Amino acid sequence: MRIGIMFLMCLLYSLLIGCSEPDPGVGEVVSTFENYQETGDLPALRERGFIRLLAPRFDQPSGLPRDGIPTSEYQIQAEAFVRHLGLEPRWVYADNYGELSGLINSGMADIIVTNFSVTRERQKTLAFSTPVNAVQEHLVVPAELAGTPLTEMGPLTISVPEGTSYQETASKLASRHEHVDIEIIDGDLSDEELVEAVESGELAATIVDNNMLDNLITPDSQVAEGPVVNRKRRIAWAVRKDSTALLDEINQYITSERVITSVDTHDRRDWATIKKKGVLRVITSNNPASYFIWRGELMGFDYDLMKNFAKKHRLRVSVVVRETPSQMFEALQAGEGDLIAASMTITEDRKAQGWLFSDRYLEVNEQLIGRADDTPLASLDKLAGRSVAVNPETAYHDTLKALQQGGLEVSIVEVEGASTEMLIEGVAKGDYDLTMADSHLAAMESTYRDDIAVLYQFEPAKEIAWGLRQEQSGLQEALNQYIARQYRGLYYNITYNRYFKEKKTIATHEAYRVEAGKAISPYDDLVKKESLKYGLDWRLITSQMYQESRFNPKARSFAGAQGLLQVMPRTGRQFGYTNLTKPENGVAAGLAYLDWLEQRFPARLDLAEKLYFTLAAYNAGHGHVEDARRLAQRLGKDPDKWFGHVEDAMLLLAKPQYARQARYGYVRGSEPVKYVREIKNRYLGYVAALQEQG
């Protein structure tokens, strides 16, 4: 049964629901073009004009990448390789890792591109490229076993998915250690699901690559990264055994383009070394201005600019996340990264400490933020007797201190670790009198809300730049040249407007009135037809459609989502749909994605609750919802109930102290909370109105 039926049963509505159709088989509706069988080498592929790249469906980060190159780089590099050959890339998707080899050898795809380990078993049927990464495999154990050597763990059962490199490693361990047994489990399980199973006690131990564990194990996890059980597991692309010409081209490309993700952890590098290594290590912060994950996509103004800069120099971006300015400067000094890109203000104090800065890439004014009904301040004298809440690590604190030293009687409320968004929210709710924000951050908040106002703007403008070490003059010069060419140019303006000017919600207008004999929307027949395939109530989907696009098939969000159900293009491709602004495609892709999300949640969940979680995941991403469920449990709330429980935890994930503990990091939790509540209420209104018609 599907979630539409479940929800209606819970609400005691009686509806006629058709039987759901089976999911399309792998290799049938899995690509963005009409697939074919082709087992030839490169000459045959040239005749076709395509190279079909193969990955598991939704091959996305298992958490926010906080230290290293995001796995999406595999796909970006593979597409660049295909175009380098003068051919067109096309993606084909498998349901799990176990199906990859079969699809390649049956001629349904040409290159496997994912976090795919080289194993002896796989080498029997596939040919592997030069490694693109080298990882270590670690035992994953309960937190209480952290630091315990394998030999001292006592009897241990290691559970590993069938057909994976982990199975090969576990078999070797069992043959060497009498107290180790192995359990072969479902090959469909992801690394994230393996870690969660150990955390819940379902599994005693498992094995996961270290580059995955960097995202999956957070400081408050109930699991630990155990001992290394395989010191060097190679990650590579794979082709058919007889695709020798294709493999030769792949190897040449990997070597010439330095498609290798392993980088030195601590290395104080300047421009020449960075170019030689092919990787730019960017120190940033997980927040809505710099770097975050939304619906599976990595985003952020600073992140986008750094990617653009790196692309122009044929570099890849490795991300190093730190939470505070002091932590970022410490990481830069230690050589953990090459520069800081985190909306960093140039201050005299920072320059006096010896830090080097690029030219400004953003000019901002500090602003005083109050509630929308507050009176603007004609002069700073009017600030006397009022209080301003700021994070003491920010430049705002310096500004207020200078005002105090100048004789202005203003009270500074120091809120350790607080983000600008958190403080603005506090002002809107009445927790604080005033706060301060840079003008671009205040503008960003205004794209989401209308309950705040700028009460005063400080002059002159301040400069935002990228932070460097004193000896990095070569990198500084390269950055300055980029800024000189790009500042206020087309790419810069589009990117700036995307984050700081465009409204993050579809423009509000009067909803379609539900009246006897009238349709709810212009797309009722289409929605009824597609909803029936998944056993969903079409009125629920229509309510969601209004929330997403206001029934505008041409709608596009700031994040790039398109169509009536605002599907991300990458998500559409995963299910075989392009041209998402075409109503038939947009609705079909949205419903396929909604159904896929529903299946990611445990079957034990109450039927209505499963619907709420699925809708929240559609809005913010499945990972953020699971983060909220884990947080709810730690807070003593019910992780299986949305309203009053998980939704409360979701709101907390916008706060730095909670976001830094979460696998997927920061999320503007108010968005999915509002999304679920409004869709539910509108849906119930539709049901009541249509019943009255009957």
Residue 318 CA, chain-centre distance (Å), reads 15
- Whichever domain contains 320, its CATH number is 3.40.190.10
Percentage of the residues of the chain whose pLDDT score is greater than 90: 71
- Residue 380 CA to residue 397 CA, distance in Å, equals 16
Token code pair at residue 134: 């080298």
* In a domain? residue 34: no
Q: Quick check: 349 and 398 in contact, CB under 8 A?
A: yes
Kindly report whether the peptide bond that precedes residue 131 is cis, defined as omega within 30 degrees of 0: no
Contact 168, 121 (CB under 8 A): yes
Active site residue 416: no
Residue, of 106 and 187, whose pLDDT is higher:
106
State both tokens at 218.
């957070």
Specify whether the CB–CB gap between 94 and 29 falls below 8 A: no
The span from the first CA to the last CA of the chain, in angstroms, equals 26
pLDDT of 11 over the 50 cut: no
Residues 482 and 557 in one domain: no
Q: Catalytic: which of 137, 548, 647, 671?
A: 548
Q: Is residue 74 part of a domain?
A: yes
> In the prediction, which pLDDT does 22 show?
35
* 643 belongs to a structural domain: yes
520 part of a folded domain: yes
What is the secondary structure of 225-258 as a DSSP string? EEEEEEEEEEE--EEETT-HHHHHHHHHHHHHTT
**129 and 77 Cβ atoms separated by less than 8 Å:** no
Angle at 398 between CA 397 and CA 400, to 5 degrees: 65
**Cα separation, 29 vs 196, whole angstroms:** 30
More confident residue, 532 or 418: 532
CATH number of the domain encompassing residue 673: 1.10.530.10
Residue 6 has pLDDT above 50, yes or no: no
- Looking at residue 4, its pLDDT comes to 47
Domain that residue 604 falls in: 3-18+511-693
Give the span between the Cα atoms of 249 and 256, in whole angstroms.
11
Q: Does residue 30 belong to any structural domain of this protein?
A: no
364-407: pLDDT as tens digits: 999 999 999 999 999 999 999 999 999 998 889 999 999 999 99
- Asked whether residue 582 falls in the same domain as residue 486, the answer is no
What is the gyration radius of the CA atoms in the chain, in angstroms? 26
For residues 475 and 359, the answer to whether their CB atoms sit within 8 Å is no
**Residues 408 and 527 reside in one and the same domain:** no
Report, as an integer, the average pLDDT of 326-340.
Answer: 96
Q: What are the structure tokens assigned to 54, written together?
A: 């193969």
Inter-helix orientation angle 301-312/473-486, to 10°: 100
Q: Is pLDDT larger for residue 341 or for residue 31?
A: 341
Centre a 10 Å sphere on the Cβ of residue 186 and count the other Cβ atoms it contains.
Answer: 11
CA neighbor of 369 nearest in space, from 428, 302, 329, 440: 428
The answer to the question of residue 26 being in a domain is: no
Q: What angle do CA 675, 679, 685 make, to 5 degrees?
A: 150
Each residue's pLDDT tens digit, 537-566: 999 999 999 999 999 999 999 888 999 999
User: Which pLDDT score is estimated for 19?
Assistant: 33
* Residue 623 pLDDT > 50: yes
Domain annotation covers residue 35: no
Interatomic CA distance for residues 348 and 4, integer angstroms: 59
Instruction: For residues 112 and 109, give the distance between their C-alpha atoms in angstroms, rounded to a whole number.
Output: 8
With vertex at residue 205, the alpha carbon angle to CA 202 and CA 209, rounded to the nearest 5 degrees, is 120
Contact predicate 131/209, CB 8 Å: no
Identify the weakest region by mean pLDDT among 189-198, 332-341, 408-417, 669-678.
189-198
Q: Give one word for 58, left, alpha or beta, with left for phi > 0 and alpha for psi -120 to 50.
A: left
Say whether both 554 and 655 belong to one domain. Answer: yes
Based on the fold, state whether residues 607 and 630 are members of the same structural domain.
Answer: yes
Are 85 and 61 part of one and the same domain?
yes
Residue of 209, 204, 160 whose CA lies nearest to 182: 160
- At residue 9, the pLDDT reads 36
Asked if 195 and 244 count as a contact pair (C-beta separation under 8 A), the reply is no
Q: CB-based contacts of 591: which residues, under 8 Å, 6+ apart?
A: 530, 531, 533, 534, 536, 541, 565
Looking at residue 507, the DSSP 8-state letter turns out to be: P
DSSP conformational letter for 505: S
pLDDT at 264 over 80: no
Q: Is 3 exposed, middle or buried (0-12, 13-18, 19+ CB in 10 A)?
A: buried
What's the mean pLDDT in 8-17? 33
Domain tally, the chain: 5
Residues 140 and 252 in one domain: no
Are 633 and 648 within one domain?
A: yes
pLDDT of residue 263: 53
User: Could you tell me which residues come within 8 angstroms of residue 600 by beta carbon, excluding any fewer than 6 positions away?
Assistant: 617, 622
State the chain's mean pLDDT as an integer: 89
Same domain for 380 and 432? yes
* 112 and 11 in a common domain: no
Reported confidence tier of residue 516, pLDDT bands at 50, 70, 90: low
φ and ψ at 618, to 5 degrees?
-60, -35
Residue 329 is which amino acid? F
State whether the Cα torsion 188-236-573-543 is positive or negative: positive
Q: Are residues 528 and 670 in the same domain?
A: yes
List pLDDT tens digits, range 562-616. 999 999 998 998 888 989 999 999 999 999 999 999 998 999 999 899 999 999 9
Q: What CA–CA distances, in Å, run from 426 to 266, 431, 436, 448, 669?
A: 39, 5, 12, 15, 15
Specify the length of the chain in residues. 694
Per-residue tokens: 343: 């909306």
Residue 261: inside a domain: no
Looking only at the bridges linking them, the beta strands covering 297-299 and 452-457 are unpaired
The DSSP letter of residue 83 is: H
- CB–CB of 519/551 below 8 Å? no
| Together in a domain, 391 and 430 | yes
This model's pTM is above 0.85: no
Here the tokens at position 421 are 């968004």
- Give the burial class of 256: count Cβ atoms within 10 A of its Cβ; 0-12 exposed, 13-18 middle, 19 or more buried: exposed
